[in-house]
């Protein structure tokens, strides 16, 4: 359902209404977390931080899939890429993420067969055209992208492909939020929830935020007015002491989400414990390929030994992902770590908090 187009004047009026409303309610320090990397970038791009009173702080959360993928996964992908006859297919933003001692880009430069795809389905064409090769798709992402990866496995089965595999690092947002709030370090007063993840899972999986943690939350879209309006809604809930869940993105997020996408997902994947950068292993926070599709699961069908995991000693990406540190708190930010020469995952992805701070100059005006 499309929103009726607003005129510029109406948009200006609404933005001023939200900005002034937030200012009126900002009578004490408030910390709001935007969970999603797409929100982080949109907030910087639109200059939303500059519209907020100093007492309202926006912190970024664990919502950049590339950033939360731990080194162990990257090291495993590197180990596969070093094997003869293996083709790694991946989205482009995984290439430059540093693993323990290498990256996929470095392995590609050394001759590994690593190909950037725009959809997991592209991997099937490669597998069909090169039957002697083993094609491993790096399945990284949240509930938004996992149904497509699941559909790709089903399509591979239907096509009778015996040389296509997924290396799953899919993750689920609600269990990570539970772990983050239970740990207590983030100290957030309200949450901006990711619109595209919510379009799949709907509203119900977030009920625990209010029930268990008394934290209000708003499912928000990605336009500047969506975000400003969601912050206003959160401020109103906080002022009223209401730990409610609001869906402010109804034009895209039905309350029940997308049951058809979840049905595809549930055929291929089941919940499993998963390791997150910065958050450790969180129970039932990842997606593992079910036994019925074991033949397509790289970990099960093609076991490999990766190198022992090491993290960059100076990188504070884990704390940044928990909202416990700002990029500018990292001594490497903008010096030994830049988008051109990233030392940590949060500086690589376009949705990474460190990359957004660097690109939009937040290190200069907020350090």
Contact set for ligand SF4, span 333-352 (CB under 6 A): 333, 337, 343-344, 346-347
Length of the chain: 367
Cα separation, 264 vs 145, in Å, equals 12
DSSP code at position 307: P
Task: Kindly tell me which residue out of 217, 298, 327, 356 binds ligand SF4, with binding defined by CB under 6 A.
Answer: 327
CB of 344 to ligand SF4, least distance (A): 3
Identity of the residue, 126 or 356, whose beta carbon is nearer to ligand SF4 in the bound complex: 356
CB 224 within 8 A of CB 42: yes
Task: State yes or no: residue 315 binds ligand SF4 (CB under 6 A).
Answer: yes
Query: Distances in Å between the alpha carbon of 294 and those of 17, 87, 289, 301?
Result: 54, 19, 7, 7
Query: Distances in Å between the alpha carbon of 114 and those of 92, 104, 135, 193, 248?
Result: 10, 7, 10, 34, 40
Write down the number of H helices and E strands in the chain: 17, 11
Cα separation, 172 vs 313, in Å, equals 28
Stretch that binds ligand SF4, among 36-44, 47-55, 164-172, 308-316 (CB under 6 A): 308-316
Task: State yes or no: residue 156 binds ligand SF4 (CB under 6 A).
Answer: no
Task: State yes or no: residue 233 binds ligand SF4 (CB under 6 A).
Answer: no
Stretch that binds ligand SF4, among 8-16, 51-59, 290-298, 332-340 (CB under 6 A): 332-340
Identity of the residue, 62 or 120, whose beta carbon is nearer to ligand SF4 in the bound complex: 62
Contact set for ligand SF4, span 57-76 (CB under 6 A): none
Q: Give the three-class secondary structure for 93.
A: helix
Identity of the residue, 54 or 313, whose beta carbon is nearer to ligand SF4 in the bound complex: 313
Identity of the residue, 96 or 237, whose beta carbon is nearer to ligand SF4 in the bound complex: 96
Identity of the residue, 296 or 333, whose beta carbon is nearer to ligand SF4 in the bound complex: 333
Cα separation, 175 vs 244, in Å, equals 18
How far is C-alpha 303 from the chain's CA centre? 27
Instruction: Give the footprint of ligand SF4 on this chain (CB under 6 A).
Output: 314-317, 320, 327, 330, 332-333, 337, 343-344, 346-347, 354
């Amino acid at each position: 359902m499309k929103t009726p187009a607003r005129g510029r004047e109406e948009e200006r009026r609404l933005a001023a209404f939200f900005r002034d409303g937030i200012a009126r309610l900002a009578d004490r320090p408030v910390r709001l977390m935007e969970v999603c990397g797409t929100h982080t970038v949109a907030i910087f791009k639109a200059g939303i931080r500059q519209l907020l009173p100093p007492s309202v702080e926006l912190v970024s959360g664990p919502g950049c899939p590339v950033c939360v993928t731990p080194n162990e996964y990257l090291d495993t992908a590197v180990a596969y890429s070093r094997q003869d006859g293996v083709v790694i297919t991946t989205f482009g933003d995984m290439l430059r993420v540093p693993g323990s001692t290498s990256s996929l880009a470095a392995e590609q430069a050394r001759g590994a067969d690593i190909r950037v795809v725009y959809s997991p389905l592209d991997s099937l064409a490669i597998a069909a055209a090169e039957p002697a090769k083993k094609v491993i798709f790096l399945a990284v992402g949240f509930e938004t992208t996992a149904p497509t990866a699941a559909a790709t496995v089903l399509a591979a089965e239907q096509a009778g492909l015996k040389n296509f595999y997924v290396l799953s690092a899919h993750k689920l947002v609600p269990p990570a939020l539970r772990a983050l709030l239970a740990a207590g370090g983030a100290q957030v007063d309200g949450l901006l929830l990711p619109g595209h993840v919510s379009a799949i899972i709907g509203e119900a999986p977030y009920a625990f935020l209010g029930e268990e943690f008394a934290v209000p939350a708003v499912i928000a879209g990605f336009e500047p007015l969506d975000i400003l309006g969601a912050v206003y809604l959160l401020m109103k809930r906080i002022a009223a002491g209401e730990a409610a869940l609001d869906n402010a993105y109804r034009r895209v997020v039905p309350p029940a989400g997308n049951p058809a996408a979840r049905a595809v997902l549930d055929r291929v994947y089941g919940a499993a414990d998963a390791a997150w950068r910065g958050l450790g292993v969180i129970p039932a926070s990842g997606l593992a390929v079910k036994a019925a599709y074991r033949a397509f699961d790289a970990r099960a069908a093609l076991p490999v030994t990766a190198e022992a995991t090491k993290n960059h000693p100076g990188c504070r990406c884990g704390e940044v992902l928990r909202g416990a540190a700002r990029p500018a708190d990292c001594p490497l930010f903008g010096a030994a770590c830049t988008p051109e020469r990233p030392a940590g995952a949060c500086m690589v992805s376009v949705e990474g908090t460190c990359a957004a701070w660097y690109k939009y100059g937040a290190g200069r005006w907020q350090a």
